[in-house]
Amino acid sequence: MQILGGVIATNNTLPILDHILFDLKESSLKLIASDLETTISAELEVDSNDSGVIALPAKLLLDTLKTFAEQPLTFIVSDNGTVEISAANGKYALASADGNDFPKPLSLNEAEGFEIQGDILATAISKTLFAAGNDDLRPVMSGVLFQCDLSHITFVATDAHKLVKYRREDCRANSAAEFIMPKKPLNVLKSILVGHDQNVSVSYTDVNAKFSFDNIEIISRLIDGKYPNYEAVIPKENPNLLTVSRAQFLASVRRVSIFSNKTTHQIRLKMAGAEINISAEDVDYSNKADERLSCSYQGDDLQIGFNSRFLTEMLNALDCEDVQLAMSLPNRAGLLTPVDGLDAGESITMLVMPVMLNS
């Protein structure tokens, strides 16, 4: 029920969508929740000889179930549609809705597919989802691109200011295809699959994608449209290479950004020799911060400006000791990659656009 609750919208146009469908077929109970775009179902073994469908109010039921200790509960449906729940220490009655009014689940005909370990999928989602955009005018950039190939699977997200490309060469599909998944079902998947080492079966058509594992099935409508050619914006020649401790760099960027302009969040990186200078200034309030970090730097002396929020998000999403920032010019994107901490067959590239420095 808690997993299913993640898909229920707060402002449903159809009142039936505030409910969870109980579809009972003797000892098998299927629970279904939907917001019309995404549908989640889960199957449970129960003790019953009856069959039927009924819809129960999700919030009321979930709030009630959370308060019970581990114990059996008996649900009895009366002829007038009221459902009585009997627990060890009390009885609770709630009104139901007609289960036949619940939207029929989508079916995927002639779907392509692949299998991926649950934990790998959760990692791919958490490494990319933060970079997806929120612009309603560009819906294709508000999701994560799944690019399936015979030799690898690539996950990409971008909002035009930052871009993340996460690739696994230890996962592959039976045929080349790509589709764009919206954020909501990915957030639900991420929360369920962390630490989940069993395989997830992924199947997709031109319109929908389905994720199946254990007793759970998630079907989502895909974002329609052509994803931008992200490879074209990743700069190939980046002769200036900065290698620095991720934790120290993140702490410095966080501290210095407190003193940056609250509109631009601009910080300045100045690389020379074996030292990086990180600074920020808010001229309106005369606030200023300046820090030095030891690093390994190869290339010409360089000054470049970045939005500190983007850098912070990216450094937070990496799990490595050291990171490398590859740059060419102050007006060209920087590429952030982990130096260590990657599994075999795993690669991640993060691109961050610079901001114009005030001289």
Q: Give residue 196's pLDDT.
A: 87
- Hey, do 2-101 and 112-230 end up sharing a CATH topology, with the first three levels equal? yes
Q: What do you get for the CA distance between the two ends of the chain, in Å? A: 56
- CATH architecture label of 234-355: Roll (3.10)
Model confidence band, residue 359 (pLDDT cutoffs 50, 70, 90): low
Pairing of strands 208-213, 199-204: antiparallel
Q: Which long-range contacts (CB under 8 A, 24 or more apart) does 255-263 make?
A: 255/289, 255/291, 256/280, 256/289, 256/290, 256/291, 256/308, 257/308, 257/309, 257/312, 258/289, 259/287, 259/288, 259/289, 260/289, 260/308
pLDDT in tens, 73-112: 999 999 888 999 999 989 999 999 999 999 998 778 778 8
pLDDT in tens, 282-341: 999 999 999 999 999 999 999 999 999 999 999 999 999 999 999 999 999 999 999 999
21-35, 40-54, 102-116, 221-235: the lowest-pLDDT one: 102-116
CA 216 from chain centre, in angstroms, equals 18
**DSSP secondary structure letters along 53-88:** EEEEEHHHHHHHHHHS-S---EEEE-TTSEEEEEET
pTM of the predicted protein model: 0.92
What is the spatial distance between Cα 337 and Cα 341, in angstroms, rounded to a whole number? 11
Are 218 and 4 contacting, i.e. CB atoms less than 8 angstroms apart? no
Q: Give residue 192's pLDDT.
A: 93
| Residue 80: other Cβ atoms inside 10 A | 7
Each domain of the chain, given as residue ranges in start order, spans 2-101, 112-230, 234-355
Domain at 112-230: CATH code: 3.10.150.10
At 170, the amino acid letter reads D
At 298, the amino acid letter reads Q
- From the list 143, 152, 149, 151, the residue with the least C-alpha distance to 120 is 152
The CATH homologous superfamily of the domain defined by 2-101 = DNA Polymerase III, subunit A, domain 2 (3.10.150.10)
Q: Give residue 10's pLDDT.
A: 87
Q: What percent of the chain has pLDDT over 70?
A: 99
pLDDT in tens, 127-172: 999 999 999 899 999 999 999 999 999 999 999 999 999 999 999 9
